[in-house]
Structure 1
Amino acid sequence: MIRISIDAMGGDHGPGVVVPALAQVAVRRPDIRFIVYGREEAVRPELAKFPALQEKSEFFHCDVAVKMDDKPSQALRHGRWKSSMWKAIEAVKAETADACVSAGNTGALMAMSKFCLRTMASIDRPAIAAIWPTLRGESVVLDVGATIGADAQQLIDFAILGTGMARSVFGIERPTVGLLNVGVEEIKGQEEVKEAGRMLREADMASMTYHGFVEGDDIGKGTVDVVVTEGFSGNIALKTAEGTARQIAGYLRAAMGRTLMARIGYLFARSAFNTLREKMDVSRANGGVFLGLNGIVVKSHGGADSEGFAAAVELAYDMARNRLFDRIEADLDLFHARNPQSQLTRKPAVADDGEDR
């Protein structure tokens, strides 16, 4: 039985989107159970619409809901111990839940997760990992916004974290890993990236195959299973890809309705366009995973619809079922045992500003 704790008050739509999403997942995943946190007057009426979901859920009232525009420090000060977001995270720490999902304020969720769960023993900074649709299938990309700037050792940590996620979610025994850079040549890029590449080439890595440097267009190609970068460039790449997908979808809609012949052509090619629309739907890849913490936390996009939030919940389910945390912990222990020289002097990193993705 997989138990998922839910912050029902998070996101732009709150329980009106969260609860129907849980009902969808409950049908598709018979062995799932939910622990739902939120305001009773907002959540209970929604739960009452889905009797089958109620049988698989426990609900706990919380007086406080973290606002989407709250600063992380404000959320910690006013929402700790009594908000729906904190309670959902705390359930993972108490081991009453296997994973937590929230569509709430990204900065507040990260701050609370770090404060409550703490980072893993050998991890300096956590990362947010995203599932990225590619021409070959899907890849893991991290960090997409948790930490601005990263030294060589932190990039290696991200590689190990991303590898564990790829093994857990995709079922790949030895994922390929690439470092995002301005070119594939070893002489190009920032010193931190070049140093991380050298260390990965020389390291004894049983759980991954290091591919080398990759460029921006390699992400969409699916050149590697795991793309590693720091949070500034990763977040820009993510939001650029989401915006481009919506832009192309807008162009197609406009073109298909422009003339009578275009509308007739659309009728003949409708199945192909439906397939393209599914591939370009950013909600289907919804769910940023906080890696490097002592527990699984998944951040859904704040504006996600019920299908999008359901995708984030199912991602949390898959990682819990495939024991993501145990895999990462074992990979980290093995790497540091085989590469004792890997612990470098770390440079300070800066957390993100908490803006919702």
Structure 2
Amino acid sequence: MGSTGARIAIDAMGGDYAPDEIVAGALRAREELGVEVLLVGDPQEIESKLPPKTNLRQVEIVPAEEMITMDEEPLSGIRRKPKASINVAMDLVKNQQADAVVSAGHSGAAMAAALLRLGRLRGIDRPAIGAMFPTMVAGKPVLILDVGANVDCRPKFLEQFAVMGSIYSQYVLGIPEPKVGLLNIGEEDTKGNDAAVRANQLLRENPQISFIGNAEGRDVLSGHFDVIVCDGFVGNVLLKFAEAVGEVMLQIIREELPQGLHGQIGTAILKPNLKRIKQRMDHAEHGGALLLGVDGICIISHGSSQAPSIFNAIRMAKEAVDNRVLHRIQSQYQSIQQESG
């Protein structure tokens, strides 16, 4: 490993704006965060997107012959294309040549590659994708998981998501005792289907987390919870809905501002406020979602990610590496297994 900080492998060919925006975000992260970035993909394409007079000896490009397209079935795609950029990036982490992977490409392929190349952490049955949502409390996001990795979940999986989410919130987000909730259709412990009732019981009995009860849909953005767990089907619907609501709200604000000279003056006065509103609501500000439960740090970014979002995704990866999230999750589960054994 390098001595200048975290080494982050970037899937330079993944995403709607690859490789242009991916390379731009990676170079910014290299300059501002002090990380080493390994740009994985077609060397000629990547080099063509570098700024003029870039010293190629300071930019590490890792060749990859292929890429997984968005219309490919994830598992068959990564098996059929072993030299695809996402596979090569995962291999860098597996072989300890990089500390983390960031990809804005096919999210299903990224998850499949992580599972096949890196494997699950011991004690974890299913990995989960965790995404940060804004809340009504400024500066206090809520971590929702799973938002797409597992369509169906057993109660035990939800319990594991809660433990992993709590560890991430505590050590990366700096929340001393993260408050955990279970997404459900009512506050009472007996609400929901059989799986929800059993999950509620497991969460209440787990001493490793601070479970404060069920969270209804209206509670998700309230700021009362730090971590909310649900299955990936519901979580993904929630994620896409929240993104749409954010875009609608910003559009409404733009349309409702006065027109003409008064509008220009008002907009100029409100510009700092509008910028802060956008920062709180825009998914690009968080950079991506963390794939928790695999034996490596993986950040899955939005397919439409541009340079600022890629920069934030790399920052998120660096924070997970610096705070030894993998080690902490593994240690927690080893202690749980020892206690239960």
TM over 0.5: yes
CA contact (8 A) 2:258 2:266 kept: no
1:222/1:63 Cα in 2 relative to 1: closer, same or farther (>3 Å)? Answer: same
1:179/1:263 Cα in 2 relative to 1: closer, same or farther (>3 Å)? Answer: same
- The 5-angstrom pairing of residues 180-259 of structure 1 reads 180-205=183-208, 208-256=209-257, 258=259
CA contact (8 A) 1:66 1:75 kept: yes
Range moving further from structure 2, 126-135 or 249-258: 249-258
CA contact (8 A) 1:255 1:262 kept: no
Range moving further from structure 2, 267-276 or 212-221: 267-276
Structure 1 residue 260: Cα displacement: 5.0
1:57/1:163 Cα in 2 relative to 1: closer, same or farther (>3 Å)? Answer: farther
Range moving further from structure 2, 214-223 or 102-111: 214-223
Letter of the 1:91 partner, please give it: L
Structure 1 CA distance for aligned equivalents of residues 338 and 177 of structure 2: 19
Structure 1 residue 224: Cα displacement: 1.3
Letter of the 1:301 partner, please give it: H
Post-superposition CA distance 1:246-293 (Å, at most 9, x none): 011111111225465444433333322222122222210221111111
Runs of 5+ unmatched residues, structure 1: 341-357
1:42: which partner in 2? 45
Letter of the 1:141 partner, please give it: I
Structure 2 CA distance for aligned equivalents of residues 216 and 270 of structure 1: 31
1:49/1:129 Cα in 2 relative to 1: closer, same or farther (>3 Å)? Answer: farther
1:346: which partner in 2? none
Structure 2 CA distance for aligned equivalents of residues 274 and 296 of structure 1: 31
Does residue 176 (structure 1) correspond to residue 173 (structure 2)? The answer is no
CA contact (8 A) 1:23 1:50 kept: no
CA contact (8 A) 1:129 1:290 kept: yes
Structure 1 CA distance for aligned equivalents of residues 130 and 112 of structure 2: 16
2:324: which partner in 1? 323
Structure 1 residue 27: Cα displacement: 2.1
- The 5-angstrom pairing of residues 346-357 of structure 1 reads none
Structure 1 CA distance for aligned equivalents of residues 78 and 286 of structure 2: 29
Structure 2 CA distance for aligned equivalents of residues 273 and 36 of structure 1: 34
Structure 1 residue 335: Cα displacement: 2.5
Number of aligned residue pairs: 335
CA contact (8 A) 1:89 1:113 kept: yes
Structure 1 residue 49: Cα displacement: 3.6
Structure 2 CA distance for aligned equivalents of residues 45 and 266 of structure 1: 38
1:107: which partner in 2? 108
Post-superposition CA distance 1:289-311 (Å, at most 9, x none): 11111111111111011001111
Match of 2:59 among 37, 57, 60: 57
Structure 1 residue 158: Cα displacement: 0.6
- Please, what TM-score do these two structures have when normalized by structure 1? 0.89
Tell me, what secondary structure is at the counterpart of 1:184?
A: coil
Letter of the 2:23 partner, please give it: V
- The 5-angstrom pairing of residues 290-301 of structure 1 reads 290-301=291-302
Runs of 5+ unmatched residues, structure 2: none
Structure 2 CA distance for aligned equivalents of residues 188 and 339 of structure 1: 28
Structure 1 residue 187: Cα displacement: 1.4
Structure 1 CA distance for aligned equivalents of residues 167 and 181 of structure 2: 14
2:13: which partner in 1? 9
Q: Supply the RMSD in Å over aligned alpha carbons.
A: 1.7
- Please, what TM-score do these two structures have when normalized by structure 2? 0.93
Structure 2 CA distance for aligned equivalents of residues 56 and 253 of structure 1: 42
1:305: which partner in 2? 306
Identity of aligned residues (%): 32
Structure 2 CA distance for aligned equivalents of residues 69 and 309 of structure 1: 22
1:90: which partner in 2? 91
CA contact (8 A) 1:203 1:339 kept: no
